[in-house]
Amino acid sequence: MAVDNNEVMHWYVVRSVSGQENKIKDYIESEIAHHNLQDYLKQILVPTEKVVQIRNGKKINKEKVYFPGYIMIQARLEGEVPHIIKSVNGVIGFLGETKGGDPVPLRKSEVNRMLGKVDELAEQVDNIAIPYKVGETIKVVDGPFNGFNGTIEKVNEEKRKLEVMVKIFGRKTPLELSYMQVEKV
């Protein structure tokens, strides 16, 4: 079936089982391909943000879904397309104004805000919550002073460093260490 590609595609929100968004996105894409309706579907987005966690002194980058339970779809909902999407395992339905009514496309302002948020999340710098306070006792786990205990004297958020006072050969010595080089005692 030939499709006029100049026709406008709208953004819709599909409600899905939370925690399964990426898997459901893949299912929708493969179902649309199986029915040879790719011309009706432009893109599917699962907005995610990068989250940095510190486990055992190691930095772990994870991706977290920004809108749990929601998948954004840019498509032209004609013919069988909405039924195919709704029939995908894990899809609850389209976000609409009325229960059981037609899916309501997002307004241009909502789309711009959503896509702006997606871009913003992609560019976001690793922002780690600082898990350390002045006066806390820590253990150095990396670098030449590995194994030494010390006390936090100063927390520098901009440089993401800690000023730590460590006792070396009976004398207190100041060290500047990153958050990844220490752990709480």
| Better pLDDT: 122 or 102 | 102
Task: Name the class of domain 10-123.
Answer: alpha beta
d(CA 16, CA 27): 12
| Better pLDDT: 61 or 39 | 39
Q: Which bin fits 117, alpha (ψ -120 to 50), beta or left (φ > 0)?
A: alpha
Cross-strand bridge partners of residue 174: 165
Residue 71: its H or E element = strand 70-75
Enter the CATH code of domain 137-184: 2.30.30.30
pLDDT in the model for residue 127 = 55
pLDDT in tens, 1-55: 444 444 678 999 999 999 899 999 999 999 999 999 999 999 999 988 777 776 7
pLDDT in the model for residue 3 = 45
pLDDT in the model for residue 1 = 44
Domain residue extents for the chain: 10-123, 137-184
100 Cβ contact list (under 8 Å, min separation 6): none
CB 107 within 8 A of CB 78: no
d(CA 142, CA 41): 50
pLDDT in the model for residue 14 = 92
Residue 84: its H or E element = helix 81-87
pLDDT in tens, 65-80: 888 999 999 999 888 8
CB 81 within 8 A of CB 32: yes
| Better pLDDT: 6 or 108 | 108
Residue 89 pLDDT more than 80? yes
pLDDT in the model for residue 124 = 58
The answer to whether 10-123 and 137-184 have equal CATH topology is no
pLDDT in tens, 120-166: 766 655 555 667 889 999 998 888 888 899 999 998 877 778 899 99
pTM here is 0.60
